[in-house]
Amino acid sequence: MSPVDSPIPYYPVNDFGPLMKGLVIGGVGIVHVFLAQFAIGGGMLMWYLERRGQRGHQDARTFVDGYFRILVLVSFVVGALTGVAMWFTTIQVGARTIGLMIDEFHWLWATEWVWFAVEITAGYAFYRYGPRLGGRARLRLLAVYALASWLSLFWINGILSWQLTPGRWLDGGGVWAGFFNASFWPSLIFRTAVSTTLGALAGCIVINTMDLPRDRKAALLRHAARFAAPIAVMPVIALWFFAVLPADSRSWLLGGSMPMTMFVGVAAGASLLIGGYVIVGLLLKRLYINGATATLLLALAFGATAAGEFVREGARKPYTVRGALYSTSIRPEEVAALRELGATAGDPYPLTTTYPTEQLARGAKVERALCDACHTMHGANALVELTRTWTDDQLRLNLAKLQHTKGFMPPFAGNAEDVEALVQLLRYERDDGAAPPAMSAAAATPETLAQIARWLDEAGTQPAGAVK
């Protein structure tokens, strides 16, 4: 059967070496989100300062014409291209996930594309013709640019938040039930606040590079700093976001998974520092912010964005689309069939590495199908290290009852032979391939396989947490 025709889509899997796939997509995603949000906030800031400029604040006008070139050269180009890179990277990491997102939301994605096209057109028009245009046309162009970029966020936000809280969409509520999901509004407001803050901080850096006396810079800085004020509402919005999260996701973030909790702490701590400086220092005390401090705050904002995106991705576990698709690119309803058939029965792609036994080769295929999306063998989030000290039976038990071993893991989507093959592969890899006798017949006696099968049955095929 051609790979195109199999009932469950199987895709070739690429090895990224010691890099966990999540790190690859995370790296691209964080840069993209940061730049895209900066472009939105920057657009709003420019509209505001253009308005000030037309009411007599000449420096505001000078700022707009200088700042916009930086915005165009950085955020348009790298932002737009990292958007395309996100698409390609997502295909590399989870082709079935992006496929489901496209299937479900293609018209809304196309809607987002139209606004993106308007944003780019308005942006370039201002970049190229802005200095020659009259005040009214300038203001309108900037308004179109800011509105279109925010609407682009509006549409993509619904698709991304759906992954985490699809809600009534799971009951057949349709595309709008999925789009206006529980985390849609807190995410949108949060991202809008982040956008204006990034725009303001970048604006403060640019103002410090302008050839102006200090008092005129200070006046301009005060105007720009107002755009960071929405950071004050972020704690409330963050609490709202936490409140609408599924209970198990919330528990990972609030102590259930220390790495995730630490990232929550980093995001909250960095945001608190920025917010404190902006609210107390810039807005209340009217302090002068120099370029170095503004750069430091922007770097902190990047750290907060990175941590926040990690939290958002991590909170989805064990799904990429909650209730619909596991991080292994297997649908929940397919697990039972794979328990019967085996995890790799339909996998048409050969291995690219040779192994001394068939069982090890099967283990490698199982690892590729069920583990590779989030783990490596020896690099980041390494399977060998996570299981190094477990006894053989403990390893069998923990894999067979995977969703109970760790609540953010999906149920094992294979049969007893698959579990045993994976166990033997992990031991083989742990011992640097030096102990093939571990794969002897004794390691997979009928009694062992029967025990694994019992454990699989006890674990069931449902995830550990509630679906919604």
Residues that bind another protein (CB under 8 A): 2-4, 9, 11-14, 73, 76-78, 80-85, 87-89, 91-92, 95, 98-100, 102-111, 113-118, 120-122, 124-125, 128-129, 132-133, 137, 140-141, 144, 148, 174-176, 348-352
How far apart are the C-alpha atoms of 42 and 100, rounded to whole Å? 33
CA-nearest of 287, 309, 286, 319 to 403 is 319
Report CA 390 to chain centroid distance, whole Å.
31
Identify which of residues 85 and 218 has a Cβ nearer to another protein in the complex. Answer: 85
Identify which of residues 110 and 254 has a Cβ nearer to another protein in the complex. Answer: 110
Identify which of residues 172 and 437 has a Cβ nearer to another protein in the complex. Answer: 172
Count CA atoms closer than 13 A to 123's CA, side-chain side: 27
Closest separation between CB of residue 137 and another protein, Å? 5
Identify which of residues 99 and 269 has a Cβ nearer to another protein in the complex. Answer: 99
Identify which of residues 176 and 255 has a Cβ nearer to another protein in the complex. Answer: 176
DSSP calls for 351-416: PSS--SSHHHHHHHHHHHHHTTTT-BSSSTTBHHHHHTTS-HHHHHHHHHTHHHHSTTSPPP-S-H
Identify which of residues 99 and 281 has a Cβ nearer to another protein in the complex. Answer: 99
Closest separation between CB of residue 437 and another protein, Å? 29
Closest separation between CB of residue 368 and another protein, Å? 11
Residue 186 tokens read as: 């807190």
Closest separation between CB of residue 436 and another protein, Å? 23
Closest separation between CB of residue 141 and another protein, Å? 7
**The CA-based dihedral angle spanning residues 23, 246, 237, 289, taken in that order and rounded to the nearest 10 degrees:** -20
Coil, strand, or helix at residue 152?
A: helix
Residue 316 tokens read as: 């989805």
How far apart are the C-alpha atoms of 327 and 140, rounded to whole Å? 44
Closest separation between CB of residue 179 and another protein, Å? 8
Closest separation between CB of residue 10 and another protein, Å? 9
Coil, strand, or helix at residue 325?
A: strand
Identify which of residues 173 and 269 has a Cβ nearer to another protein in the complex. Answer: 173
Which ranges in 245-349 belong to alpha helices (H)? 247-251, 258-276, 291-315, 335-341
